[in-house]
Chains A and B, each alone.
Chain A
Amino acid sequence: MDNDAVIEVVDVYKSFNGQQVLSGVNLTVRQGTTMVIVGGSGQGKSVLLRHMLGLLRPDRGQVRVLGRDLARIGKEELKEVRKHYGVLFQNVALFDSMTVFDNIALPLRERTRCSEEEIRSRVMEKLALMDMEDAGGKYPAQLSGGMKKRVGLARALILDPQIVFLDEPTTGLDVSRSNEIYRLFHRIQKQLRYTAVIVSHDVPKIFKLADYVALVSGGLIHGCLPPEEFQMTQDPLIRAFVEETMGPIYWSRQEEMKI
């Protein structure tokens, strides 16, 4: 086992109704790094993420998080591991009947013995970090897509987690909103230095946040390289993906720059 590894996915297989989705995935995420997982739709990115979150169990293989194999531990132990998680879901999963303040305060109220005063100060601190000081009393339905994502991020970070998982953090947002999310995430990441796993198809913008990029295709991991190397590799599958997502013009420009 890699001493620095926070997450280790070892030879993971998963199928649904006979359809193989993951076919021997191997991936290591190291302490303090940001791993970006990219890939086309239906290639198994979200399934891989759900394995790391302990929401799915592999048919075969191991998913070790903080040294514990999620496939072999009980509910209580899994709960202990998850205490180190902060998760932003693709559709944010805010509780519609709660205000923004209550949504962010929920982990504090349910998992800590903080006083209401302390909860207020911590929630307001996170709201300030997201530039949303005035939104505490609003309900999720009253927020724009970008604001919801920021609230989701604030909720994910409220207990200062060791590992942050972001599933498609900019899906459904326009360019300026997604840029805003990236700037925000970049700023917070620099400040808090947690380990992050981001699933996204927002290529190449997402590369700015990455320490490593892994391509999921056909149920396997390809690459797992620093973003610069990922964009320049001669691996035909990665090259095809980069060309497809960024266009041949981008690719030829990169080639020219290299020359």
Chain B
Amino acid sequence: MGNFFERIGDTVLYQLERLGRMGLFLLRTVTSIVTPPYKLRPIIRQIHFIGACSIFVILFTGAFTGMVLGLQGYYTLRKFGSEGYLGAAVALSLLRELGPVLTALMVVGRAGSAICAEIGIMRISEQIDALECMAIDPHRFLMAPKLVAGIISVPLLTAIFDTVGIFGGCLVGVGLFGVNEGAYFQGMYASVVWLDIYMGFVKSLVFGVLLIWIAAGKGYFLHLERSGGFGAEGVSRITTSAVVCSSVAILVSDYLISAILL
């Protein structure tokens, strides 16, 4: 029995230590962002990797999400004779919820996993130790450009997702089912308020920070993992864990932000 409580206590302490470590990691990264010297080139490189390289997948998923919303929305609204509200339904669903969440999940899958694996490999091949021994701050050199790029890229990708989704819904609603185009866009203009856009923006900003923080932090502390951090298997395990944790964190924070802002 004593052994059981000992194990629980040990696990709780370990998780608290992990949380504290991750908190300090974010704090150090943010500090290195706001203190000079400022370097633009690494940030641009990361915006290209996280943002520009994700555009195709965002266009694709955005268009199909909008089309599905158009399809489902049309059949549901038709039952109540309210097809004219299709534009509003599609736009509100995208701007408030689906746009930020799905964009963030796509970026987690495409860039978050790659960031975690990259930093994890740097950790096990002593590249991070080498940076420290060269008196180069890994938070400034590796993490800060990624975090800034996440903060810039994810809201922009969300905006692209939302726009493409709205036109995808229009394509199905107007093009396939013959909903009046004017009614589609007028309904949207009438229903969407600044709070909806603001909520989507805040969410995408928070998701951008969360996904980079978790992915980079998991890779950075790979060597401290209890489950055996080293080797290819360690990198693979931590990358999976980073994707799962980021996705869960995005969904949980989505609820929390909605609850606060609504």
Chain A proximity mask over B122-136: 1 for CB below 8 Å, otherwise 0 = 100111011011111
In the complex the two chains form, is A79's CB within 8 Å of B133's CB? no
In the complex the two chains form, is B126's CB within 8 Å of A93's CB? yes
- Residues of B whose CB lies within 8 Å of any CB of A are 122, 125-127, 129-130, 132-137, 141
B220 to chain A, nearest CB (A): 14
A110 at the interface (CB under 8 A from B): yes
In the complex the two chains form, is B134's CB within 8 Å of A106's CB? yes
In the complex the two chains form, is B127's CB within 8 Å of A95's CB? yes
- Residues of A whose CB lies within 8 Å of any CB of B are 53-55, 79-80, 82-83, 85, 87, 89-91, 93-95, 106-107, 110-111, 155, 165
B181 to chain A, nearest CB (A): 49
Q: Could you name 5 residue pairs across A and B whose Cβ atoms are closer than 8 Å?
A: A80-B135, A82-B134, A83-B135, A93-B129, A111-B134
In the complex the two chains form, is A106's CB within 8 Å of B135's CB? no
In the complex the two chains form, is A89's CB within 8 Å of B129's CB? yes
* A106–B132 alpha-carbon span in the complex (Å): 13
In the complex the two chains form, is A93's CB within 8 Å of B135's CB? no
In the complex the two chains form, is A82's CB within 8 Å of B132's CB? yes
In the complex the two chains form, is B130's CB within 8 Å of A87's CB? yes
In the complex the two chains form, is A106's CB within 8 Å of B136's CB? yes
List the A side residues contacting B126 at CB < 8 Å.
Answer: 89-91, 93
In the complex the two chains form, is B125's CB within 8 Å of A91's CB? yes
List the A side residues contacting B127 at CB < 8 Å.
Answer: 93-95
* A128–B136 alpha-carbon span in the complex (Å): 25
In the complex the two chains form, is B129's CB within 8 Å of A79's CB? no
* A85–B133 alpha-carbon span in the complex (Å): 7
Identity of the chain B residue whose Cβ is nearest the Cβ of A159 in the assembled complex: B134
In the complex, the number of residue pairs spanning A and B with C-beta atoms less than 8 Å apart equals 48
**Which of B129, B133, B135 meets A111, CB within 8 Å?**
B135
**Which of A55, A79, A94 meets B135, CB within 8 Å?**
A79
* A224–B127 alpha-carbon span in the complex (Å): 31
**Which of B125, B133, B137 meets A55, CB within 8 Å?**
B133
In the complex the two chains form, is A93's CB within 8 Å of B132's CB? no
A206 to chain B, nearest CB (A): 21
* A165–B132 alpha-carbon span in the complex (Å): 14
Identity of the chain B residue whose Cβ is nearest the Cβ of A165 in the assembled complex: B133
With most chain B CB atoms within 10 A of its CB, the pick from A83, A89, A155 is A89
* A91–B129 alpha-carbon span in the complex (Å): 12
Identity of the chain A residue whose Cβ is nearest the Cβ of B137 in the assembled complex: A79
**Which of B129, B133, B136 meets A110, CB within 8 Å?**
B136
Identity of the chain A residue whose Cβ is nearest the Cβ of B28 in the assembled complex: A75
* A97–B112 alpha-carbon span in the complex (Å): 18
In the complex the two chains form, is A55's CB within 8 Å of B136's CB? no
* A58–B244 alpha-carbon span in the complex (Å): 36
In the complex the two chains form, is A82's CB within 8 Å of B133's CB? yes
* A47–B126 alpha-carbon span in the complex (Å): 14
* A27–B232 alpha-carbon span in the complex (Å): 36
B224 to chain A, nearest CB (A): 12
Given A87-B134, A165-B133, 19 further pairs, Cβ under 8 A: A53-B129, A55-B129, A79-B135, A80-B135, A82-B132, A82-B135, A87-B130, A91-B126, A93-B127, A93-B129, A93-B130, A95-B127, A107-B134, A107-B135, A107-B136, A110-B141, A111-B134, A111-B135, A111-B136
B21 to chain A, nearest CB (A): 14
Identity of the chain A residue whose Cβ is nearest the Cβ of B118 in the assembled complex: A97
With most chain A CB atoms within 10 A of its CB, the pick from B122, B125, B133, B136 is B133
In the complex the two chains form, is B135's CB within 8 Å of A85's CB? yes
Known A-B contacts A91-B126, A95-B127; A55 and B132 likewise in contact (beta carbons under 8 Å): yes
* A85–B132 alpha-carbon span in the complex (Å): 10
List the A side residues contacting B141 at CB < 8 Å.
Answer: 110
A89 to chain B, nearest CB (A): 5
List the B side residues contacting A91 at CB < 8 Å.
Answer: 125-126
List the B side residues contacting A85 at CB < 8 Å.
Answer: 133-135
* A54–B136 alpha-carbon span in the complex (Å): 14
A74 to chain B, nearest CB (A): 13
* A89–B133 alpha-carbon span in the complex (Å): 10
List the A side residues contacting B136 at CB < 8 Å.
Answer: 106-107, 110-111
A156 to chain B, nearest CB (A): 9
List the A side residues contacting B125 at CB < 8 Å.
Answer: 91, 93
B237 to chain A, nearest CB (A): 20
Identity of the chain B residue whose Cβ is nearest the Cβ of A82 in the assembled complex: B135
* A93–B133 alpha-carbon span in the complex (Å): 11
In the complex the two chains form, is B130's CB within 8 Å of A89's CB? yes
B222 to chain A, nearest CB (A): 15
B203 to chain A, nearest CB (A): 32
* A53–B135 alpha-carbon span in the complex (Å): 11
List the A side residues contacting B130 at CB < 8 Å.
Answer: 87, 89, 93
